[in-house]
Amino acid sequence: MKKRGQLTLMIILAIILIAVIIIIILISQRASERPLDIQSQALSVTEQYKSAINFEIESCLKSISATTIREIGLRGGYIIWPDNSLETNFGRIAYGYYEGKSTFPTIEEIQEEISKEVVYKLPLCTKFFDDPQIEEQEPTIKTTILDEEVKVEANYPIKVNLNSTVLEINQNNVASIKARLGLLHKIATEIIQTQVETQQINYILPKNYDFFVQIQVLDDTTAVYVLQDEKSNIAGDPYLFMFANKYTEAEELF
């Protein structure tokens, strides 16, 4: 009986010891998990903030690019008009042809115009956050004008001081605007070059092109060409590319 009592006591003590060990292990595990939970929460907030800024920049880039491309079309290939431009009732338009010479911008010059305007306007995108802790660098913009679309690539480095953590954002964003600016530029160049070479004002659009060319005569020596593309639209409107022509008195309008 005495031996049985001792054995029972030893079993009880062993069970208690095991229980104590299990409790210690569980407490240790929970203590070690808490910093990980806090770290995960902090990481989650950081990633959410980063995603929000990236989303805003991407959306803003597309909006700015589309507006800039529309203005380029209405102004004759420029954002900042050259001195040699025409004031009209429907806006100021650059000359593409002036008294026997082409003054029309090249595709590379128009790409540069778009890039400069996006560089100027893109920093406005982060103003929506109203956060004095945002540090910005000047964005790098590359514009590529194709026949069927215009691509605007942006690299916009940003640093954000977020709860004693410096968050660096350096993501490349691309806006693809479905405007056939490259194709319209080719037609406009062809119109102007034909007039330079032949001194003929009339231009017959080739049958394989599916947009319209309108000529608005303002006076005896001035006309505005309007290229209208129904397949390219920005904010629901057909895309327009316009340029002005100035003729000498010796040249006849039609």
Mapping DSSP onto H, E and C, the string for the chain reads CHHHHHHHHHHHHHHHHHHHHHHHHHHHHHHHHHHHHHHHHHHHHHHHHHHHHHHHHHHHHHHHHHHHHHHHHHCCCCCCCCCCEEEECCEEEEEEEECCEECCCCHHHHHHHHHHHHHHHHHHHHHHHCCCCEEECCCEEEEEECCCCEEEEEECCEEEEECCEEEEECCEEEEEECCCHHHHHHHHHHHHHHHHHHCCCCCCCCCCCCCEEEEEEEECCEEEEEEEEEEEEECCEEEEEEEEEECCCCCCCC
Question: Distance between CA 35 and CA 228 in Å, rounded?
Answer: 62
pLDDT value, residue 143:
97
Return the closest-CA partner of residue 169 out of 63, 52, 62. 52
Q: Report, as an integer, the average pLDDT of 127-150.
A: 82
CA angle 67–69–75, rounded 5-degree value: 100
**Which range in 134-138, 142-146, 162-166, 171-175 is most confidently predicted, on average pLDDT?**
142-146
pLDDT value, residue 117:
96
Work out the percent of the chain whose per-residue pLDDT is above 90: 42
Spatial CB neighbours of 204, under 8 Å, sequence gap ≥ 6: none
Q: Report, as an integer, the average pLDDT of 65-78.
A: 96
For residue range 185-194, what is the model confidence (pLDDT) as tens digits? 999 998 899 8
Read off the pLDDT band of 42 (50, 70, 90): very low
Read off the amino acid at residue 187.
I
**Model pTM score:** 0.78
Q: Report, as an integer, the average pLDDT of 213-240.
A: 90
User: Do residues 185 and 107 lie in contact, with contact meaning Cβ atoms separated by under 8 Å?
Assistant: yes
Q: Would you call 242 exposed, middle or buried from its count of C-beta atoms within 10 A (0-12, 13-18, 19+)?
A: buried
pLDDT value, residue 124:
82
Query: Does the structure show a pLDDT above 70 at 24?
Result: no
Cβ neighbours of 145 (radius 10 Å): 23
pLDDT value, residue 6:
47
Question: Distance between CA 254 and CA 245 in Å, rounded?
Answer: 13
Residue 63 structure tokens: 């909006």
Residue 222 structure tokens: 């001035």
**Which range in 6-10, 112-116, 167-171 is most confidently predicted, on average pLDDT?**
112-116
User: Do residues 103 and 253 lie in contact, with contact meaning Cβ atoms separated by under 8 Å?
Assistant: no
CA 101, 200, 186, 62 torsion-angle sign: positive
pLDDT value, residue 7:
43
Between residues 249 and 204, the one the model is more confident about: 249
Read off the pLDDT band of 178 (50, 70, 90): very high
Read off the pLDDT band of 235 (50, 70, 90): confident
pLDDT value, residue 204:
62
